[in-house]
Structure 1
Amino acid sequence: MPKSFLPREKPIISWMPQKNPTLFIHEKSPAYKKHDQLFKTLITNFFEEFLEAFFPDVHQFVDFTSVKQLSEEVYTDLIDGETRRLDIVMETKMRGVETAIIVHIEPQSSYQPYFNERMFRYYSLLYNKLRKPIMPIAVFSYDENRNTKEEFTLAFPNFHVLTFRYKKLELRQKDWRAYIKADNPAAAALMSKMGYTEKEKVQVKIAFLQMLVRMQLNSAQSELVNGFFEYYLKLDEVEEEELVKQINQLENSDEFFELPNSWRDKGREEGLEQGRLAEKEEIARKSLAENVDVDFIAKITGLSVERIIEIKKNHGK
């Protein structure tokens, strides 16, 4: 086939709700099994919230009383000789019309130059299977900014055959600050993959925890959202110490330590240690008021002699 008769571009998807829409999510590579499962679990459990936060133009047309997740369907790609699995296919109604919704998840480090064409093939296979309108959505979670064009065009020099488009969500391009007031569990979890700098990590974590406190999710939902967030946004020891320090300065700090977090026990321990230290210093002050020997106070409290002398000076004793 002459080169000019080949497709001009490789695809991505961007679909506007039509009479009978279908949405889809894909991604099933063994190398990204953990990544896939995290995204799949989050989006299936908070599907309505996911659309509300990132695709409000789709959300407004979906009947969420009729949403049902279809069982996983395996499709064989005869071109590549590979088996592909569409991870999330949600059956619902949009404006009263039966529809399928597919969301494709592209892992953080698996950028593919021909992704748009691949997306078109998945869409075609699923449409052939379901024979329903399909709304395609691609979620890109890689760490770099790529600004991928979301369309695949097939044309000849004298004839335009088709242009396939899909909706996309490039998490790295999203500003995490735009979602901190949303109180949306899907947005809260996905803040961990948005565009923030290394210096902002502690602030992003605090904003996330504040959302978690306000949303008052049940224990299972809270564990899911927090587990997703902490898998992608990890703090080092210095950052965790700063996090605990800032939380302890908040009026409702006790509520934060009730959340399921990796730093929870550390924070509680620091809080208990601060409480124990305050008790020891109070004992020292009372003992000094009774003219008890400094060395004896140090022995019974475990405080250093220097600290006890400092307490004595501060209290005029």
Structure 2
Amino acid sequence: MFRYFARLTEKYRLPVYPIAVLSFNSPRTVQPKVYQVAFPNKVVLQFDYDVIQLNRLNWRDFLRQQNPVASALMAKMNIEPSDRLQVKLECLRLLATLRLDPARMTLISGFIDTYLRLSAEEESRLESEIATMEPVQQEVVMEIVTSWMERGIEQGLQQGKQSQTLALIFRQLPRRIGAINPELERHIRSLAVPQLEELAEALLDFSNEADLVNWLQQISEEAPAE
């Protein structure tokens, strides 16, 4: 926190108010909020910062806050297992009243869905609860839920396609170049689907392991810098 504070202060030449938002599930013990550099004869530095530890906050305290950040962060607060369905429902209900632009709605609703996953039974009960909402609110919530479903289907299709392409590659490689070492296998598994599809075609021209190594090196060099 002190390093972030010092670098931001140096870069922007503005006062910086330091706040740490802790989103981990455990531990739930109070976390430090001070950094000190001290010697036997002198305290050289005492840096104090605010800590918002989500797992020590009660989600019920934020139900009535018309704040998009609160609707997202509720998903990481102190939630009893029996309350998970209600929390997700209340997050959706709050989002439906905030009238956010599409980009913010996608960002916040995606956070909620990622960090507050329900079981199949809970999802079924959630759908039943949504059906009891008043029409305008229900329409907004259904748009959010539908986007979650579409994203889940797309991710499932991508994962399925990746698995199928990997299976094809690992069937063909031994026939072309023999067994490969674990490091090369890990490298191949880390490739994106389009790269895997390219490899599935390129390996037909491989005659030894060096061809595979050269191809992977070329792909790495062509990848855009982050």
Asked if these proteins are the same fold (TM beyond 0.5), I'd say: yes
| Corresponding position of 1:190 | 73
Partners in 2 of 1:182 and 1:259 — Cα distance? 22
| Paired position in structure 2 for 1:179 | 62
Task: Give 1:270's aligned residue.
Answer: none
1:126 match = 8
Q: CA distance change for structure 1 residues 244 and 138 in 2, over 3 Å: closer, same or farther? A: same
User: CA offset at residue 203 of structure 1?
Assistant: 0.2
> Any residues of structure 2 matched to 1:36-185 within 5 Å, and which?
119-144=1-26, 145-185=28-68
1:247-303: per-residue Cα shift (whole Å, max 9, x none)? 22334464355432158879xxxxxxxxxxxxxxxxxxxxxxxxxxxxxxxxxxxxx
- Counterparts in 2 of 1:263 and 1:248: CA distance versus 1, 3 Å: farther
What does the per-residue CA deviation read over 1:208-257, in whole Å, with 9 as the maximum and x for residues that have no partner?
Answer: 11111111223222222111110111111100011111222334464355
Contact 1:240–1:263 under 8 Å retained in 2: no
Report the Cα offset of residue 173 of structure 1.
Answer: 1.3
Name the counterpart of 2:104. 221
Distance 1:120 1:200, change over 3 A: same
- Partners of 1:154 and 1:220 in 2: how far apart? 43
Instruction: With the length of structure 2 as denominator, give the TM-score of the two structures.
Output: 0.58
- Classify the secondary structure of the residue corresponding to 1:259: helix
Structure 1: gaps of 5 or more residues: 1-118, 267-317
* 1:80 paired residue number: none
Contact 1:247 1:256 in 2 (8 A): no
In the alignment, the residues of structure 1 paired with residue 9 and residue 149 of structure 2 have an alpha-carbon distance, to the nearest angstrom, of 50
How large is the RMSD of aligned CA atoms in angstroms? 2.3
Equivalent pairs, count: 148
Question: Which protein, 1 or 2, shows the higher relative CO under an 8 Å CA cutoff with sep ≥ 6?
Answer: 1
Deviates more, 1:145-154 or 1:128-137: 128-137
Name structure 2 gaps, 5 residues minimum. 151-226
Aligned to 2:139: 255
Q: Any conservation in 1 of the 2:96–2:141 contact (CA below 8 Å)?
A: no
Distance 1:199 1:237 in 2: 14
Which stretch shows the higher mean deviation, 215-224 or 147-156?
215-224
Q: Distance in 2 between matches of 1:182 and 1:138?
A: 21
Question: Percent of aligned pairs with the same residue?
Answer: 34
Any idea what the Cα deviations from partners look like across 1:35-70, whole Å, max 9, x if unmatched? Answer: xxxxxxxxxxxxxxxxxxxxxxxxxxxxxxxxxxxx
Partner of 2:86: 203
* Residue equivalent to 2:127: 244
Structure 2 equivalent of residue 234 of structure 1: 117
More helix by share: 2
State how far apart, in whole Å, the 1-side matches of 2:127 and 2:7 are: 50
Tell me, in whole angstroms, the C-alpha distance in 2 between the residues paired with 1:220 and 1:263: 13
- Is the 8 Å Cα contact of residues 9 and 16 (structure 2) preserved in structure 1? yes
Deviation at 1:135? 1.6
